[in-house]
Structure 1
């Protein structure tokens, strides 16, 4: 068994001699090769001196905030337990209102994106802008309404003249009859 281990070690050594040489060169210098030969620059020292107080202050504020949150939670927990019959329905109501607001916004965005998609697909299919198409349709509709209005006006005028002509004949006969009745014979 010891012979097997020795043979295996010998095979590994024979299979990877370059790898072992690279490792020797890599770690030969120790810590001196990792660090630069000259010291840090002035700008690096100024940056470290400036950042140490700032980071220390921010770390202290984070600790104070954490402590305040824990103390507030300790005092608020009994209040939450006492008022939970009121707070739970209120939380459900607020959650429902927020959900409804977000859902309406999502539906609005979906509608706008759908409308945009329809307009783009129309533009690609016809090669025209939807505004130009709508403008042309409005002009055609206006022309049709104008033509229909002119026809209706002519019809009303013709019926009015026909009615005036008939009325004039009827009233003329009545006037003639009335004139003859009013004269002594």
Structure 2
């Protein structure tokens, strides 16, 4: 029985790991408690000030938020356009950017469909021309 206890007992390395993890966990738990306490105290102190200045802050905050959203949106559009231009440049330069295989596959599929439609239009035109020729021959007789 003591052999089983000895085999299942943690090694010194495992014990040190456990104690280190427990110490770090306790420190982080203490810091999260301090953060929560500081947040609650700040909210208690700031609430009367926010209520007092809300007639000024809210009308000033709405356009500020809208302007910030507009700047962020236009910046995002600018970044997206630059990325698209960079991708197109790399694709046209033959550098094979990510997604080039899918673009090539789509281009081939569109080309195949265009050829099929052209062939069908030619066949339908010949069919319509043949029917028109038959119709003029039957009316002439």
Query: TM-score, structure 1 length as denominator?
Result: 0.42
- Report the CA distance shift for 1:39/1:113 in structure 2 as closer, same or farther (over 3 A): same
For 1:78-105, what per-residue CA distance to the aligned partner results, in whole angstroms no more than 9, with x for missing partners?
Answer: 1111100111123223312321221121
1:84 aligns with 2:38: no
Any unmatched runs of 5+ in structure 1?
A: 1-34, 125-185
Partner residue, 1:68 = 38
Give the equivalent residue in structure 2 for 1:104: 74
Task: Provide the residue aligned with 1:46 in structure 2.
Answer: 16
Change (3 A) 1:41 1:87: same
Unaligned runs of 5+ in 2: 95-141
Give me the CA root mean square deviation.
2.4
* Structure of larger gyration radius: 1
Structure 1 residue 58: Cα displacement: 1.5
Shift in Å, 1:117: 4.4
- Secondary structure of 2:27's counterpart equals helix
Q: Size of the alignment, in residue pairs? A: 90
Are positions 1:115 and 2:90 aligned together? no
Which of the pair has the greater relative contact order for Cα pairs under 8 Å at 6+ separation? 2
SS at match of 2:8: coil
Paired with 1:107 and 1:115, the residues of 2 have a C-alpha distance of 12
Distance 1:113 1:54 in 2: 43
1-structure distance, mates of 2:63, 2:21: 46
Distance between the aligned counterparts of 2:73 and 2:43, measured in 1? 32
Residues 15-50 of structure 1: CA distance to partner in whole angstroms, max 9, x if unpaired? xxxxxxxxxxxxxxxxxxxx9942011111111222
